[in-house]
Amino acid sequence: MTDALNRSHIADFRVEVLNGREELRGDLRGLLSARVEENIDAENQHVGQLKIRAVDSGFPIDWIDDRVRIYKTVEDQEFLIGTLMTTWPTEYQRPTGVEVTIGLVGKVAVLERDKVDTAYSLAAGANVVDAVKALIASTGETAMAVTPSPKTLREGMVWPPATSRREIINDLLQSINYMSIHCDRQGRYIIAPWIAPADRPIAYEFREGETSIHLPTWQREADLSTVPNKFIAVSPGTDEEPALVGVATNENPNSPFSYQGRGNRWITERDTAVEAPDQTTIDAIAARRLQGFLSPTAALLVQHAFRPECLPHARVRFVSQGTDTTATIRRQVMTCGSTDLVEAEWREAIRI
């Protein structure tokens, strides 16, 4: 039950310290504040910061290897808001004593920091999801949430030395129309298909009125000048295989960016170096890329009370001051120890 979140309440927080194998070491003491930012457009989609009165956890902290789990507590309920890795602390001498600021980064940093020292290659026919799992496991990370796929590489792929495992993984995931690699709040690496925003279920409904949990002041931003209505994706052929071409168009008469809305004119974007194993996948990639150009055209900036259903990528409904729309969560900042408000940036879920 999460009814307490809809009432006036005082939120507290708790921080667990884990070792590199994510085994519990104990609770961090002397807490002052915590901040966690989730941003699906960033290279590392989770960053954060802890402030404590002193490094007095009751045990020595390994700033290189340890992780933390941050929980927001409301009355008798507790909600996990992030599992992140610690960085070296910064100490500040205050009149009231030593204050320590600890930077936090998401676990995708493990994959970015680990770069191959020789060329890395995969042969045609390799199962993409299995290859991604192996790349993650090679760093020593084992926590994953995986949606299997039978899709394989249509042709071999090679990456030069010093390429990060994150880059290799994302190239592979894009080739089968999966989401970029990221972690959930439990710290699991998510390997899952991309779903068009308008096809995602509604996770939560924000509605104005006596029970509203968002501030009445919010902002909407739009850039309509360069939105395309066609995207062409090309996967180059080989001596044995012809090229694959995927075309996505926006011909929705209700869309101002569509072929009809642009006065029966095509505005086209393209990518002629797409990796895709089959026609179905390259068609889906073209649709996803066209959808990506639509996303920046309608941004909503909203402050609201914390809700555990509001996860990155989730779709929400927003009904306020004459606006009734759905949007996906792109970025949000959660704080503990001061305001309970979440600073959120959403993108309207437009169906092409």
The structure tokens 């080989």 sit at: 238
For range 321-345, the mean pLDDT: 90
Rounded to an integer, the average pLDDT of 56-81 is: 86
At 1, the pLDDT band (50, 70, 90 cuts) reads very low
Percentage with pLDDT > 70 across the chain: 93
Residue type present at position 39: N
The vertex-150 CA angle with 144 and 154, nearest 5°, equals 115
Calpha distance 214→253 (Å, rounded): 32
Assigned fold of 197-222+298-348: PUA domain-like fold (2.40.450)
For residues 66 and 25, the answer to whether their CB atoms sit within 8 Å is: yes
Contact in structure between 281 and 288 (CB atoms under 8 Å)? no
Tell me yes or no: is domain 111-191 CATH 3.55.50.10: yes
For 123-167, what is each residue's pLDDT tens digit? 999 999 999 999 999 999 999 999 999 999 988 999 999 999 999
Burial bucket for residue 219 (CB in 10 Å: 0-12, 13-18, 19+):
exposed
pLDDT top residue among 351 and 226: 226
Distances (CA, A) of 260 to 233, 263, 264: 22, 5, 5
Taking the alpha carbons at both ends of the chain, their separation in whole angstroms is: 36
The secondary structure element, H or E, covering residue 348 is strand 341-348
Torsion of CA 171, 194, 293, 163, to 10 degrees: -20
Identity of the amino acid at 103: G
pLDDT tops 70 at residue 294:
yes
The DSSP line for 10-28 is: -EEEEEEEE-TT--EEEE-
